Structure 1
Amino acid sequence: MTQTDPARRRGKAPLVAAGYTGLVAAFALAYGVAGSPEGWGGFLALVAFPGSTLVVVAFITAHLLFSSPGEVDLSDETAGPFDPLVQYAGGALVNVLLAWGVFAFVRHFVREARRSRR
């Protein structure tokens, strides 16, 4: 068995992750620039589901923790055209990191299970 260079061993997973994040970012940018049309929000929320929710909760929590009590305003009137980009593209990035963590854990678990059988 020959050993290969670790840089060459990488499969298509980084390309798929970058493509997924890029597509979600492109759709989120188009969604924000188009003025948030009706039908796109549900699709973007579905595509970036757990990550976009975690990003929103993190931003709201940070806003509530680090702002003075009188200036807390969470209304939609202050939203700009690039705000969906942060929510959905950030959510896609969080999803990629979550998937990477799960796969790394499974790989580690399988490696340890094989080692314990010997």
Structure 2
Amino acid sequence: MSELREIADWQLTTLASDQVEKTVDLYDLGVDWMDAELDTTGSRWLAIYLPVWLYTFTEVEKDVRRHYLLAVNGRTKETVGAVPYDRKKSSVVVLLAPPITFVALTFIGSMIAPLLAALGLR
């Protein structure tokens, strides 16, 4: 149990320092960590959410390596992490989605308009 306690304390310290770093990024001079200390009292173990599925992926593009990690809680299906995506395909979708949607809605509107007129709703 003491091994788990050490791991939990390390994880809590890491999470806390990450949260603090997000708030100090706004300062121009920068912040240096001198020491980090965590003291917990009255803790108890309630649950461990298993299984956890881990997926790692390394993408190499033009001598640049990007590492991705995705974790999925097997019980709640909650996911955390980053998934690689193709920027070219994403750009095509972003550029084509509005005109395709406009054409589709115009077509649907032209089909529904006579029906509404026939029913006297227009």
**Which structure dedicates a bigger proportion of its chain to strand?**
2
Same fold (TM over 0.5): no
Larger Rg over CA atoms:
2
| TM-score, scaled relative to structure 1 | 0.29
**Which structure dedicates a bigger proportion of its chain to helix?**
1
Asked which structure has the greater RCO (Cα within 8 Å, sep 6+), the reply is: 1
| TM-score, scaled relative to structure 2 | 0.28
